[in-house]
Copies of this chain bind each other. A is one copy, B any other.
Amino acid sequence: MEKQLKRMATMQRLQTAGLELFYQKGYYNTSIDDILKELSLSKGAFYYHFQSKEEFFISIVQNLLFRKIYSALIEPIEGEEDPLNKIVLCFDNALETAEHNFLDYGFVLSNFITEFNGKNPDIMNYLQDILKVWEVNLVTALQKGKTDGFVSRHIDSEAVATYLISSYIGVRTLMVEGNSKILRYKYIQQLRQYFKSMEYKEPA
């Protein structure tokens, strides 16, 4: 019993430290030794729990990253009425997290997509699956908004979802500079402006 617990604990410590370093320094630029140094563990420990660096990373993506993105960017919108306002709030929250230099997992995802693009198709698939779930959820929320009378019926939900994810990923890329507070303000302001044209208007 105690062994089981220890196993889980070590694996999770490795994954947590791994995600942090992979995000900060990039996957290829982070050595397994870097992660092990952080936790005062040895190579043997690592290769006892994981088959390879790649398999280790994939386990992080599926266990840690996916869950975090789901709870931060997908779940808060799911099933809610008035999706447009909800999306603005949700994005604003996520950007505030980023502003305080905590891990914003939406950005972590786009970072990894950039890094692995054209280099590791296997890992790319896992990353893109998360994007897909995010996109599908946005589309569903927008469509539900139409039937609930919050969103104008003439909009192309898929195109809007794509545009939303694009702008979010983009602004997070820009926020690395430091003046992230003003960037967030500008972004949310323009997001509202963009949404104005697609709010449902009471027919005359």
Contact = CB atoms under 8 A, between A and B. Distances in A.
Interface of A: 24-26, 28-29, 110-111, 113-115, 117-119, 124, 128, 131, 156, 158-160, 162-163, 165-171, 173-174, 176-177, 183, 186-187, 189-191, 193-194, 196-198
A165 B167 CA distance: 8
A159 B193 CA distance: 11
B187 A162 contact: yes
Nearest to A160: B190
A66 to B, nearest CB: 18
29 contacts: A25-B119, A26-B26, A26-B115, A26-B119, A28-B29, A29-B119, A110-B173, A114-B173, A115-B115, A159-B186, A159-B190, A162-B174, A162-B183, A162-B187, A163-B190, A163-B191, A163-B194, A166-B174, A166-B187, A167-B167, A167-B170, A169-B170, A169-B173, A169-B174, A170-B171, A190-B194, A193-B197, A193-B198, A194-B194
